[in-house]
């Protein structure tokens, strides 16, 4: 990882850690949960080698970034502000932004709120859904059982106690259950009062095809440092995000956009998500891939993103 450069910036009253590589047109990566900047390692190398300035954030609450205590500090205005603050600090005028999983919330809203700075947006695993008459959490409560994992994540402290008992065990099970390796994918993750979430998931093999044990060491260290509350708080602000974004109600993405998903990704089984993905400007499904698509299908994802950058004019001279 010698080509990676680590840095921090003070934005929005927190210290934000980021990792960058290369020089040229800028592409910013926002990870999901449970991830940190390292989930973009393959993309950092690829885009640096192809003449780009690639930047992966540790989103607030993750990795080496600060972990605010207040749940409200994880709302979308804060996280979009983190991205724009980073661009300002690094004197970057324009960028393509890529989000995965929960990171798509930040990526899509950065596109909605700052189309003067964001020239293209790509969402991995989670499609863009225009703001409607219900918040995400209200819509889920009407469609899924109360044991559904996103509802299980809502009560502060409950999921933390479950996931933090053994961070490595939790991470391995979450990664395996939602990957193309799991013959039972796609699954709808459900918790129980007796067992929580992690112990209801399929038993994971000793090693994962897309994540080596030395790489798992880094994930374990990252979440041992921060705990899981930062990522979980991102789920706890679903309703707050809806309330804060009323000026953008019903608005479509105003800039070029694409979606990349896996055919056995759990997310595409959620009500309305497949239709939303197909409604985006570019729609790509990778057969037999699961949720961790940038690691499971690295070459395919990199090639699609590179072509997208060329299409929107964000390319090396």
Point out the residues that are catalytic: 101, 291
Residue 20, token pair as written in the block: 């960058």
Report the C-alpha gap between 148 and 135 in whole angstroms.
16
Let me know how many helices (H) and strands (E) the chain has, helices first.
13, 8
β-strand partners of 148: 190
Please compute, for residue 100, the number of CA atoms within 13 A of its CA located in the half-sphere on the CB side.
29
Report the C-alpha gap between 196 and 242 in whole angstroms.
28
Question: With 0-12 CB in 10 A as exposed, 13-18 as middle and 19+ as buried, what is 46?
Answer: buried
3-class secondary structure, 189: coil
> Helix, strand, coil proportions of the chain in percent (round to 5)?
40, 15, 40
Please report the DSSP string for 216-270 in residue order: HHHHHHHHHHH-SHHHHHHHHTHHHHHHHTGGGTTPPPSS-EEEEEETT-GGGGS
CA dihedral 12, 18, 24, 25 (to 10 degrees): -50
β-strand partners of 8: 17
């Amino acid at each position: 990882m010698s080509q990676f450069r680590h840095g921090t910036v003070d934005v929005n009253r927190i210290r934000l850690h980021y990792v960058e590589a290369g020089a040229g047109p800028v592409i910013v990566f926002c990870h999901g949960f449970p991830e940190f900047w390292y989930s973009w390692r393959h993309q950092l190398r690829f885009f640096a080698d192809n003449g780009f300035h690639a930047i992966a954030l540790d989103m607030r609450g993750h990795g080496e970034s600060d972990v605010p205590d207040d749940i409200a500090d994880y709302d979308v205005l804060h996280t979009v502000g983190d991205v724009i603050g980073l661009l300002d600090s690094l004197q970057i005028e324009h960028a393509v932004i890529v989000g995965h999983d929960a990171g798509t919330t930040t990526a899509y809203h950065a596109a909605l709120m700052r189309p003067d700075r964001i020239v293209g947006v790509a969402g991995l695993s989670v499609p863009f859904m225009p703001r409607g008459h219900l918040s995400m959490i209200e819509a889920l409560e009407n469609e899924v059982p109360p044991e559904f994992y996103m509802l299980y994540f809502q009560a502060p402290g409950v999921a933390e106690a479950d996931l933090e008992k053994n961070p490595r065990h939790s991470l391995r099970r979450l990664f395996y259950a939602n990957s193309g390796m799991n013959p039972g994918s796609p699954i709808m993750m459900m918790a129980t009062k007796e067992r929580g979430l992690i112990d209801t998931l399929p038993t994971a093999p000793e090693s994962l095809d897309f994540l080596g044990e030395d790489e798992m060491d880094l994930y374990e260290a990252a979440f041992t440092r921060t705990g899981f509350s930062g990522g979980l708080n991102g789920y706890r602000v679903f309703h707050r995000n809806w309330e804060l974004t009323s000026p953008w109600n019903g608005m479509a993405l105003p800039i070029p956009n694409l979606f990349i998903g896996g055919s056995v990704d759990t997310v595409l089984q959620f009500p309305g998500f497949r239709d939303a993905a197909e409604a985006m400007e570019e729609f790509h499904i990778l057969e037999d891939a699961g949720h961790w698509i940038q690691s499971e299908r690295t070459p395919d994802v990199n090639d699609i993103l590179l072509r997208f950058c060329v299409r929107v004019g964000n390319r090396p001279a």
